[in-house]
A and B are shown apart, each in its own frame.
Chain A
Amino acid sequence: MMNSLLDIKNLSTNYQSLAGPVRAVEDVNITLNPGESLGLVGESGCGKTTIIKSIMRLLPKDATSTGEIIFDDKNLLEISNSDMRKIRWDRISIVTQSAMNSLDPVYKVGDQIVEAIRTHESVSKQEAWKRAEELFEIVGVDKDRLHEYPHQYSGGMRQRAIIAMALALNPDLIVADEPTTALDVVVQAQILKRIREIQKRTKSSMIMVTHDISVVAETCQKVVVMYAGKVVESGSVKEVFEEPHHPYTMGLKNAFSDIKGEKFELISIPGYPPDLVNPPKGCRFAERCPFATDICYETTPDNTEVNNGHIAACHHVDKVNEMREEAKKRETWSNFDKGVAHK
């Protein structure tokens, strides 16, 4: 069996708040093999970014993580700060959510890339600068612009610059945290195309964090669907999206247009995610789920392996075919909405 590059086991992360600990991520398991790309999807606030920050150890001081994050046979939650610094960027780099503000406004973009290189490798400034020029060629930005400041860049260019920086040290794992959210649609498509090309070329593993499942469908092999801090379904992109076993995944599919351009009405999932200070008993999705029964409100569903490597955390995986048919209809979600109202 192949040794996995990243193995997250039973990761739980809490934040402190005035109301008590926020259980932002609970009992998450994710495995990523070398060269693989994985999509992490779910709506805002479901814990995607928290997982990324747990991996990079960038959480605020009052946050605590338990479980294991095994990267290259080391538990990232236990190694020393200086060992962690060596792993950051050199082995794991990130393309951040808000590339707009991720570059220091008072330094030239080139200098910031050179800084990343020279923090981890003892190369001369000229050499590092040359590498920055090559990186800019890869991401498709004129290398003369390395001499400019971030405010002289457009949003798309800044995102490219961050991608160039993320590639600078040939990391084993690149984490892209909503890399295209802040960009307009045309630029989004360009950036995604560029990310796909680069991934093919560098053979780095990738985690793509997004709330847009079409992005995952385009760029990833594996997908992990999260809801309210928990993994509800995971497996290969093909299986999870073509044969979803969790009602939340079905709902999510309805809420986005198909990338192939097939026309159908978008249906949204009514309601809001639960409060993570006092998460509900049982399945966290139950309140918004049109198929929920008593058991869903009582006991937490186990992870069921519905197919080889395809896991869903739902009590009703046996009724998946009926659910899938029903989930396609608008009434299923809207009737249910009324149902909640008079409950």
Chain B
Amino acid sequence: MVSFIFKRLIQTIITLYILITLLFFMFRILPGDPTTMFVDAALPLEAREAVLEQFGLDKPLHEQYWLYMKNFVQGDFGISFNSREPVVDLIGHYLMPTIFLMGSTILLALVIAIILGAVTAWYRGSKFEAIAVSVALFFRSAPIFWIGMVALAFLSHQLNLFPIGGMHEPGQGSNGFFETYFTLEFLHHLILPSIVGAAYYVASPMLVMRSSMIEIMDEDFIELNRAKGLSEKAILFKHAVRNALLPVVTEIALIVGFAIGGQVLLEVVFNWPGIGRLIVDSISRNDYPVAQATFFLMGVIVIFLNLIADILYGYLDPRVTYKKG
């Protein structure tokens, strides 16, 4: 087990190295450079060159790459071309809101997906199954920003149930971690975007859970459990759901990768001060250091959640062994 984790860590580091390199070249291949965004087009050539020199963009590409890698390894992500703040500070500021929103969205989606998947399979052929599957597919097919806007229009504007967006009321939640994230007021702001995001993500794990359940319910051990005199409830939760969960765990890592794209839209629609918006802004401004760092961060999140899903799988399924080599 330990050697498995070690091996996976090495693999992870290699993956990260490739990711960092790709990010470096990707933004430099994209048309435009940082000066095109915030400097007048009529800027004199000398002034433009001065700006490029200031950011080190006048150096040959291999030198830039070397410097970039050196700084990366040291945890120095540079300074934003736009706001002139250190990137680490910027990310630190935007990371927590994203983690909270993304975490609650995915958690909510998974809980609903597992319950609905299990119940629809258990009552296969019922009206409930037909309705639940159609509703889930409806939310999956509708664009997330559209659902978000409709939800805002109805639930926030008309019914006044939820705040209209943002993370806090003006003047609230800027003193300390607990005061910011562990208040009812924050929760109130968190609920609607989480529900909208979850409604979008719920369909695929739910369908995986459902088909996995249907397969498991045909297994001989389910019938033997019935013969053992177990109640239907015990068979459903202790045996059927427990076994059907395994493919869903694999699905989690996929959803997370997928959720990052949705996260950007969700944050824009709900005016959520998170990494998603930072990504959009940094790309449109050709703010290389911020874009590189935020993309890198997202990559790290996906890679590590994959690793966690792999390890979790081993705990959930005793048939999986982590052999050496």
Chain A residue contacts of B234, Cβ below 8 A: 119
The answer to whether residues A116 and B220 also contact, given A106-B316, A106-B318 and a CB cut-off of 8 A, is no
A106 B242 Cβ-Cβ under 8 A: yes
A86 B230 Cβ-Cβ under 8 A: no
**CA A282 – CA B217 in complex, angstroms?**
39
Stretch at the interface among A90-98, A265-273, A300-308: A90-98
Q: Is A36 an interface residue (CB 8 A)?
A: no
Q: Which residue of A lies closest to B231 (CB)?
A: A85
B243 A106 Cβ-Cβ under 8 A: yes
Q: Is A105 an interface residue (CB 8 A)?
A: yes
Q: Is A101 an interface residue (CB 8 A)?
A: yes
Chain A residue contacts of B229, Cβ below 8 A: 85-90, 116, 119-120
Q: Which residue of A lies closest to B246 (CB)?
A: A106
**CA A312 – CA B228 in complex, angstroms?**
35
Chain B residue contacts of A162, Cβ below 8 A: 224
Q: Which residue of A lies closest to B224 (CB)?
A: A102
Give the contacts of A93-121 with B (CB-CB under 8 A): 93-94, 96-98, 101-106, 115-116, 119-120
Classify the interface of chain A: helix, strand, loop or mixed.
mixed
The answer to whether residues A104 and B225 also contact, given A85-B231, A98-B220, A119-B230 and a CB cut-off of 8 A, is yes
Classify the interface of chain B: helix, strand, loop or mixed.
helix
Chain B residue contacts of A116, Cβ below 8 A: 228-229
Q: Is A297 an interface residue (CB 8 A)?
A: no
The answer to whether residues A96 and B224 also contact, given A101-B219, A105-B318, A106-B317 and a CB cut-off of 8 A, is yes
Q: Mark B223-261, 1 if CB is under 8 A from A, else 0.
A: 111111111001000010011000000000000000000
**CA A106 – CA B240 in complex, angstroms?**
11
Interface centre among A89, A98, A106, A115 (most CB of B within 10 A): A106
Q: Is A149 an interface residue (CB 8 A)?
A: yes
B316 A89 Cβ-Cβ under 8 A: no
Q: Is B127 an interface residue (CB 8 A)?
A: no
Contacting B318 at CB < 8 Å: which of A93, A102, A151? Answer: A151
Chain B residue contacts of A88, Cβ below 8 A: 226-229
**CA A90 – CA B316 in complex, angstroms?**
30
**CA A149 – CA B317 in complex, angstroms?**
10
B221 A58 Cβ-Cβ under 8 A: no
Q: Is B319 an interface residue (CB 8 A)?
A: yes
Q: Which residue of B lies closest to A152 (CB)?
A: B318
Q: Mark A118-137, 1 if CB is under 8 A from B, else 0.
A: 01100000000000000000
Nearest CB on A from B133, distance (A): 21
B239 A89 Cβ-Cβ under 8 A: no
Q: Mark B185-229, 1 if CB is under 8 A from A, else 0.
A: 000000000000000000000000000000000011101111111
Chain B residue contacts of A86, Cβ below 8 A: 229
Nearest CB on A from B123, distance (A): 12
**CA A89 – CA B230 in complex, angstroms?**
9
Nearest CB on A from B115, distance (A): 19
**CA A55 – CA B74 in complex, angstroms?**
72
Chain A residue contacts of B243, Cβ below 8 A: 104-106
Chain B residue contacts of A209, Cβ below 8 A: none
Q: Is A286 an interface residue (CB 8 A)?
A: no
Contacting A56 at CB < 8 Å: which of B227, B230, B242, B318? Answer: B227
Contacting A96 at CB < 8 Å: which of B220, B231, B239, B317? Answer: B220
A149 B227 Cβ-Cβ under 8 A: no
Nearest CB on B from A128, distance (A): 13
Give the contacts of B147-186 with A (CB-CB under 8 A): none
Chain A residue contacts of B219, Cβ below 8 A: 101
The answer to whether residues A89 and B228 also contact, given A106-B242, A149-B318 and a CB cut-off of 8 A, is yes
Chain B residue contacts of A96, Cβ below 8 A: 220, 223-224, 227
A149 B319 Cβ-Cβ under 8 A: yes
Chain B residue contacts of A115, Cβ below 8 A: 228, 230
Nearest CB on B from A102, distance (A): 4
Nearest CB on A from B146, distance (A): 41
Nearest CB on B from A115, distance (A): 7
**CA A101 – CA B316 in complex, angstroms?**
18
Nearest CB on B from A336, distance (A): 39
A104 B221 Cβ-Cβ under 8 A: yes
Nearest CB on B from A95, distance (A): 10
A101 B319 Cβ-Cβ under 8 A: no
Nearest CB on A from B152, distance (A): 43
A58 B223 Cβ-Cβ under 8 A: yes
Nearest CB on B from A164, distance (A): 13
B227 A58 Cβ-Cβ under 8 A: yes
Contacting A151 at CB < 8 Å: which of B223, B224, B230, B319? Answer: B319
Q: Which residue of B lies closest to A104 (CB)?
A: B221
B228 A104 Cβ-Cβ under 8 A: no
Interface centre among B229, B230, B242, B316 (most CB of A within 10 A): B229
Chain B residue contacts of A105, Cβ below 8 A: 221, 243, 317-319
**CA A56 – CA B243 in complex, angstroms?**
24
Nearest CB on A from B121, distance (A): 15
**Contact sample, A vs B, 28 pairs, CB 8 Å cutoff:** A58-B223, A58-B227, A85-B231, A87-B229, A88-B226, A88-B227, A88-B228, A88-B229, A89-B227, A89-B229, A96-B227, A101-B220, A101-B221, A103-B221, A103-B224, A104-B221, A104-B239, A105-B243, A105-B318, A106-B243, A106-B318, A115-B228, A119-B228, A119-B229, A119-B234, A120-B229, A162-B224, A165-B228
Other 6 A-B pairs with CB < 8 A, given A88-B229, A105-B221, A151-B318: A85-B231, A88-B228, A93-B227, A96-B224, A102-B223, A119-B230
7 shortest A-B CB distances, which residue pairs? A88-B229, A101-B220, A149-B318, A102-B224, A85-B229, A89-B229, A104-B221
